[in-house]
Amino acid sequence: MDALLTSLLPNVDWLEIWQASLDTLSMLGGSLLFTTVLGLPLGVLLFLTSPRQMFEQKTFYGFLSLLVNILRSVPFVILLIVMIPFTVLVTGTSLGVAGAIPPLVVGATPFFARLVETALREVDRGIIEATQAMGATTRQIVVNALLPEALPGIFAAVTVTAITLVSYTAMSGLIGGGGLGDLAVRYGYQRYQPDVMLVTVVLLLVLVQILQTAGDKLVVHFSRK
């Protein structure tokens, strides 16, 4: 078996692959956590201040919306580079897993927030009205009605964001972010070792498959419609 693997994939250093996989998983886990923690309230805020909603604030929504759109329209590769000074300020380094997480979070949060806003918009207005008629505060409406009703949509948003983050982590290899994408670029592309490229791409594909399947399961589990 070992002999076969070595002959088919001569350049693959499995220890390095293992380390890169762990790096990718930590970048993904860390950035997904922060993206969710920051993006969920931002999405709720976008929803509440949007036209015809409970806290309709035209100017504020317009400003927030523009900010989100600006961040979303900056290509991630550019964001990676522009963010370097800020990243150093926050984490002390622009390299490795720690250096990759801030640009990943800044890149994914506006995207996730928009998805959350859309998921909340899918909640039947009648349910908000019914909760208002019970004498609920806006906070109670968000916690007890909006978020539970939008939960399947929010899980779908987390899944899409996680998969987007996988491809972002691969790009962060460009600025020394580490991980599977980094291996693919350095060995597969720059040194022309297609076997390394193949292994990393297959591993990324497996990761995406697992994320999508788990996400779909969660969505179905929490859908009561």
Q: Where are the alpha helices (DSSP H) in the chain?
A: 2-8, 14-49, 58-73, 76-82, 84-91, 96-121, 125-133, 138-141, 147-172, 180-183, 194-222
Site membership for another protein, residue 85 (CB under 8 A): no
Question: Measured from the CB atom, is 13 or 122 closer to another protein?
Answer: 122
Site membership for another protein, residue 134 (CB under 8 A): yes
Cα distances (angstroms) measured from residue 214 to each of 57, 97, 186: 37, 24, 31
In the set 9, 88, 95, 136, which binds another protein (CB under 8 A)?
136
Beta carbon of residue 157, minimum distance to another protein (angstroms, whole number): 16
Contact in structure between 112 and 157 (CB atoms under 8 Å): yes
Beta carbon of residue 191, minimum distance to another protein (angstroms, whole number): 52
Site membership for another protein, residue 126 (CB under 8 A): yes
Residue 65 CB neighbour total at 10 angstroms: 16
Q: Which stretch binds another protein (CB under 8 A): 35-43, 81-89, 175-183, 217-225?
A: 217-225
Q: Hunting for tokens 């909603």 — which residue is that?
A: 53
Beta carbon of residue 102, minimum distance to another protein (angstroms, whole number): 34
In the set 52, 73, 133, 190, which binds another protein (CB under 8 A)?
133
Site membership for another protein, residue 120 (CB under 8 A): no
Cα distances (angstroms) measured from residue 206 to each of 9, 56, 76, 182, 201: 18, 43, 23, 17, 9
Using CB under 8 A as the criterion, which residues of the chain lie in contact with another protein when the complex forms?
124, 126-127, 129-137, 140, 144-145, 148-149, 151, 222, 224-225
